[in-house]
Chains A and B, each alone.
Chain A
């Protein structure tokens, strides 16, 4: 059993209430931070911990905090990004549903460290019931003096507001989230200026993921150095993985980033293997936007080393033979799944969720969806595959926000690793309607050239 920092107490009876959370040692971190530490100390601890943003990009959180501009007389804001909409990702939901006070405590500490007197939780609209859970937790925290005016006699005032989104994936992008929070259409802003300089209402703003902010609590409790000892290399601490797809035990797992991908999928402690005794074909380890990998490249890197569940190991080999940790939405596909159909589903999602602001993403996502549907239906041409490749290459990197990249990567990876399956859909159009391509050679060991 690995180390658990976030979900350790998640299953204690009644942990949603303040009394139980407090009895289990909750709000100790907030007390310690506000009473004994300076704001710089907290930022320093987070820096030392090596905590990386858990939302997908993996940017060091402490570094992000230290970028915040601190002009005189201008309020600063902390915004918690709870707009968890990436297909395959549901870790924040689990955390907020089960142990809401952990997030609130993390928010209090972080708000204190950043000097944010008005902190916002931007939650996706579909999580309607979680808003109530959070509101209740905020109310309890305020009743016990952890929120409101003069928190714990420190002279620091803080309020947390929960703002519901209206069901747009793009509002999980930090600048679109800020626009939406301001009450505008959720279009991503053009950077620079970065939110750390001009964010909500043109004030310096930090936007962090739910899990990142919750992780601040164990960092303060145990100290940044201790936290950094968990995990490997630059992947410190624990990470919540929401596993889904064709596995025996889908769910949210907290891992300490030292276990291998193979162990994570097949161990009874985690996913419990592929459901119904089938074989593993492919996996998308970090939510729909990250590149899909075939079984052979998933379990071993191109160099023949074991692949581990951490930022570095998963991205070993770049996009050619690697993938990304992403937001931790671990989607497993067994031998009966069709990669073309899966890619089409993702393309349809991105087409639907593109904000329509910049042309490559607006037009390109729709084009890719139509081509993929044609291929999936067996009406495609071989040249369509090359065309898809060309379109994704022209979208990637040419858009305002990362949604364009996120739409391009899954298509690119699917063609890169599963090109013969795409071609089979063209050469065997009728067969492709009746059966799937199957596992084929995707689990065969790959030849590792001797160095």
Chain B
């Protein structure tokens, strides 16, 4: 592969160099944090996605070094490639913030707002979006649109009223499965995700539509009404699966596996495997392997960004987070007379034993053997 030229792009006054052909959104994600525009329809692992929800609109105040004219309209950052010397305003532009708030309002006018009974609550991108970018009220005073209920098989529940028509599931069906069985019917605000003739979705990888759905329109029937996501403990686990990578996140309560999902990164997208391919999981991993004994548990899963499930709110990329307050800053320069670190004086928790390296639960012999 030939060396790709690096383009310098400034987003919200932060300059970063990215390879040519990168979109503004991905450049902003490299910077991370608040600079990254929200995206409801764009999914980096799905070809052709993006451009539809308009939440990622940004202002281009300078086109490039060659052509410094600003772009006349706000552009969808997920589908606009960076140019050398481009200057982009995201959260520094009042126009962008204003427009984004109204896009959130548009997305919510026909959304049922049934979060209390929705399984997606807690990990819903629309919740996050309206919390971060929306206004507190709506000016919509009419009946919300409803749809006729459609059954699409034993595993996947479709709630068309919650759908924001991001088309992600259509791309999944198109690109992951061997035959597309569903799509968009009708047009305008009455367009819907459907299977045309009521037909169940039966493809090995069709379960991934649940993972890509940013809202609660497509949910897991095997998990439906069983639990709230924030009560569950996410664990990384794997198994030898003949059809997929078998690398998943288990959502446990106690020893019981409540649901299985793909591993998601900080943008809510399915993680990439070591070979760069996305770790989509197959239907049997997702829907049928609901026993702890089916899985080899690797350890706790760090969930970022999702508002309720994660305990702390990540400000940057995973692993780059540093605590806002240091130990000494908390003490404000005071030198306390007695400062006890329980770990330092504990005889039990010895620092020279790496408990996480043990392949089984720790036993008292582990501690004794070291001493003797």
- Please report whether the interface of chain A is mostly helix, strand, loop or mixed according to DSSP: helix
- State the CA gap A364–B107 with chains docked (Å): 9
A363 (CB) vs chain B CBs: closest residue = B106
- State the CA gap A190–B41 with chains docked (Å): 13
* A397/B73 contact (C-beta < 8 A), A190-B51, A359-B164 known: yes
Interface 9-residue window, one of A152-160, A240-248, A346-354 = A346-354
B188 adjacent to A185 (CB under 8 Å): no
A358 beta carbon closer than 8 Å to chain B = yes
* A359/B53 contact (C-beta < 8 A), A367-B109, A398-B103 known: yes
A370 beta carbon closer than 8 Å to chain B = yes
Q: Which residues of A contact B106 (CB under 8 A)?
A: 359-360, 362-364, 367, 394
Size range of the chain B interface in the assembly: 20 to 34
Interface residues of B in 58-109 (CB under 8 A from A): 73-74, 76, 79, 99, 102-103, 106-107, 109
* A358/B51 contact (C-beta < 8 A), A363-B109, A397-B74 known: yes
Q: Which residues of A contact B183 (CB under 8 A)?
A: 185
Residue from A170, A370, A390 in contact with B187 in the complex, judged by beta carbons closer than 8 Å: A170
- State the CA gap A387–B102 with chains docked (Å): 12
B51 (CB) vs chain A CBs: closest residue = A190
- A 387-409 binary contact with B (CB < 8 Å = 1; else 0): 10010001001111000000000
- A 333-363 binary contact with B (CB < 8 Å = 1; else 0): 0000000000000000001111111111011
- State the CA gap A229–B91 with chains docked (Å): 51
Q: How far is the CB of A212 from chain B (nearest CB, A)?
A: 24
Q: Which residues of B contact A399 (CB under 8 A)?
A: 54
A353 adjacent to B187 (CB under 8 Å): yes
Q: How far is the CB of A447 from chain B (nearest CB, A)?
A: 33
A355 adjacent to B187 (CB under 8 Å): yes
- State the CA gap A354–B188 with chains docked (Å): 5
* A400/B51 contact (C-beta < 8 A), A190-B79, A359-B164, A360-B106 known: yes
Residue from A356, A360, A370 in contact with B191 in the complex, judged by beta carbons closer than 8 Å: A356
- A 15-35 binary contact with B (CB < 8 Å = 1; else 0): 000000000000000000000
Tell me how many residue pairs across A and B have CB atoms closer than 8 Å.
Answer: 87
B107 adjacent to A185 (CB under 8 Å): no
Output the residue of B140, B164, B186 with the most chain A CB within 10 A.
B140
A394 adjacent to B99 (CB under 8 Å): yes
Q: Which residues of A contact B53 (CB under 8 A)?
A: 358-359
B203 beta carbon closer than 8 Å to chain A = no
B57 beta carbon closer than 8 Å to chain A = yes
Residue from A185, A359, A365 in contact with B103 in the complex, judged by beta carbons closer than 8 Å: A359
* A356/B103 contact (C-beta < 8 A), A362-B189, A363-B109, A387-B139 known: no
A108 beta carbon closer than 8 Å to chain B = no
* A398/B74 contact (C-beta < 8 A), A358-B51, A359-B54, A387-B139 known: yes
- State the CA gap A394–B190 with chains docked (Å): 21
B130 beta carbon closer than 8 Å to chain A = no
A394 (CB) vs chain B CBs: closest residue = B102
Q: Which residues of B contact A367 (CB under 8 A)?
A: 106, 109, 140, 142
Residue from B52, B73, B109, B110 in contact with A357 in the complex, judged by beta carbons closer than 8 Å: B52
- State the CA gap A362–B140 with chains docked (Å): 15
B139 adjacent to A365 (CB under 8 Å): no
* A363/B74 contact (C-beta < 8 A), A353-B188, A398-B103 known: no
Q: Which residues of B contact A363 (CB under 8 A)?
A: 106-107, 109-110, 189
A58 beta carbon closer than 8 Å to chain B = no
Q: How far is the CB of A412 from chain B (nearest CB, A)?
A: 15
A354 adjacent to B54 (CB under 8 Å): no
A387 (CB) vs chain B CBs: closest residue = B139
Interface residues of A in 149-185 (CB under 8 A from B): 168, 170, 185
B74 adjacent to A356 (CB under 8 Å): no
A169 (CB) vs chain B CBs: closest residue = B187
Q: How far is the CB of B102 from chain A (nearest CB, A)?
A: 4
A400 (CB) vs chain B CBs: closest residue = B51
A366 adjacent to B74 (CB under 8 Å): no
- State the CA gap A67–B164 with chains docked (Å): 36
Interface residues of B in 183-237 (CB under 8 A from A): 183-184, 186-191
Q: Which residues of B contact A397 (CB under 8 A)?
A: 73-74
- State the CA gap A390–B139 with chains docked (Å): 11
B165 beta carbon closer than 8 Å to chain A = yes
Output the residue of B73, B106, B145, B164 with the most chain A CB within 10 A.
B106
Q: Which residues of B contact A352 (CB under 8 A)?
A: 188
* A354/B189 contact (C-beta < 8 A), A363-B109, A363-B110, A394-B106 known: yes
- State the CA gap A399–B139 with chains docked (Å): 21
- State the CA gap A390–B99 with chains docked (Å): 11
B165 adjacent to A356 (CB under 8 Å): yes
B191 (CB) vs chain A CBs: closest residue = A356
Q: Which residues of A contact B186 (CB under 8 A)?
A: 356
Residue from A355, A387, A390, A398 in contact with B188 in the complex, judged by beta carbons closer than 8 Å: A355
A365 adjacent to B51 (CB under 8 Å): no
- State the CA gap A242–B26 with chains docked (Å): 48
A365 adjacent to B189 (CB under 8 Å): yes
A350 (CB) vs chain B CBs: closest residue = B188
Q: Which residues of A contact B55 (CB under 8 A)?
A: 359
Q: How far is the CB of A8 from chain B (nearest CB, A)?
A: 40
Q: Which residues of B contact A398 (CB under 8 A)?
A: 54, 57, 73-74, 99, 103
A351 adjacent to B51 (CB under 8 Å): no
* A359/B142 contact (C-beta < 8 A), A351-B189, A367-B109 known: no
A359 adjacent to B99 (CB under 8 Å): no
Output the residue of B54, B107, B110 with the most chain A CB within 10 A.
B54
Q: How far is the CB of A362 from chain B (nearest CB, A)?
A: 5
Q: Which residues of A contact B50 (CB under 8 A)?
A: 190
Interface residues of A in 357-391 (CB under 8 A from B): 357-360, 362-367, 370, 387, 390
- State the CA gap A370–B189 with chains docked (Å): 13
B76 adjacent to A190 (CB under 8 Å): yes
Residue from B76, B165, B187 in contact with A168 in the complex, judged by beta carbons closer than 8 Å: B187
- State the CA gap A357–B41 with chains docked (Å): 11
In the complex, the 7 A-B pairs of residues with the closest C-beta atoms, listed nearest first? A356-B191, A394-B102, A363-B106, A190-B51, A354-B188, A366-B189, A397-B73
A-B contact pairs, 7 of them (CB 8 A): A351-B188, A354-B188, A356-B186, A356-B190, A356-B191, A360-B54, A394-B102
Q: A358-B54, A398-B54, A400-B52 are in contact. List 19 more A-B contacts (CB 8 A).
A: A190-B79, A353-B187, A354-B189, A356-B186, A356-B188, A357-B165, A359-B53, A359-B54, A360-B102, A360-B106, A362-B188, A362-B191, A365-B188, A367-B142, A370-B142, A387-B139, A397-B74, A398-B73, A398-B99
